[in-house]
Amino acid sequence: MDENALVNSGVLPIGAFSRACSISVRTLRNYHESGLLVPDSVDARTGYRCYSVDQLADALVIVRLRALDLPLTDVQRVLRARDPDVTSVILRQHEHRMLSRLEEVERIVGELQFGLAAASTPVHLVDTGPLLVVETRLVAPSAELWSWIERAAERLRSLAGDRRAAGEPIGALYTAALDDEMIEDVTVFVAVDEPVLIEVEDCRIGEIPAQTWASLVHSDGFDTIGDTYRILGSWVGRHASPRDTPILERYPLLRQEANHRNTSSDAIVELRWPIEPSTTYDAVSA
């Protein structure tokens, strides 16, 4: 494209536009692909992008909002709405998220300064025999995992019926390694006293083998369960030999009645980390 032809046309080539709006050419291309800031014209032969000078106003809005760390999806909502009331609502929501993040940062800084109180944490060992279970596997988004587990628990309770083992809460087995922070591979189960005829394709009878576990109870919301994992993992690293087998979570508050379901602010979870049985520590039989 002949850039001289753009003189007095109210259009800037991508390079000049990038300098004028302080957005890199690479980022402008990404914004184009995502539909956030679409060029005024694109040369059909070369793919060369040109922008209207009027788009500098939108570019400025993007720069200012991104400086506030506003997600691109929200920036796009602001540009599409072009409504001060909508913008105000979005920014208030973002302010709330930022304040929550600030609280989390302050908490993390406190942990860095003072450390986690692992030494006084009541970690203990649990020896369990083999456990017969009705189980189903879930591969679910981490952010939605609890609702998936609740639905799976309802189905498993129904399948187990009166053969469900007394005193054994709903549980879930998590892979020993976290392969993806956004997706969890989980096996949800309910213990039974004897085999059950299963006619549902994605459910089956399984067995959790005899095992020695390092156990720690988490009694806060799910938002902080990572802290309990770090404490338990730290204890296992110092006092035991971890096994490369699934980690177990038990949910004693997960009841059958819908109005008694756990929430993110009402969580009691027992974490059980599999360890080699040779660990020299006081074991508690389960």
12-25 pLDDT, tens digit each? 899 989 988 889 99
Query: What pLDDT is stored for residue 286 in this prediction?
Result: 46
Q: Do 183 and 142 contact (CB within 8 A), yes or no?
A: yes
pLDDT for 219 equals 86
Q: So what's the pLDDT on residue 1? A: 53
C-alpha of 274 from chain center: 23
Token pair in block for residue 201? 């394709």
Domain segments of the chain: what residues?
3-87, 120-285
User: What's residue 277's pLDDT?
Assistant: 84
CATH class, range 120-285: alpha beta
Give the pair of three-digit tokens for residue 116: 């986690």
Contact 215, 221 (CB under 8 A): no
**Count of beta carbons in the 10 Å neighbourhood of residue 212:** 21
In tens, the pLDDT along 175-205 reads 988 888 788 999 999 999 999 888 888 999 9
CA-CA distance, 34 to 239, in Å (whole number)? Answer: 50
Are 164 and 158 in contact, with CB atoms under 8 Å apart?
A: no
Fold of 3-87: Multidrug-efflux Transporter Regulator; Chain: A; Domain 2 (1.10.1660)
The neighbouring-strand residues paired with 261 are: none
pLDDT for the residue numbered 241: 87
The model scores a pTM over 0.75:
no
Distance CA 233, CA 231 (A): 5
- Summary count for the chain: helices (H), strands (E): 7, 12
Low-confidence ranges of the chain (pLDDT < 70): 1-9, 108-121, 255-266, 279-286
Other C-beta atoms closer than 10 Å to the C-beta of 251 total 20
Distance set, CA 156 to CA 51, 73, 220, 232, 258 (Å): 58, 38, 26, 29, 15
In one-letter notation, the amino acid at residue 84 is P
Core vs surface per residue 183-206: b (16+ CB within 10 A) or e: ebbbbbbbbbeeebeeeeeebeee
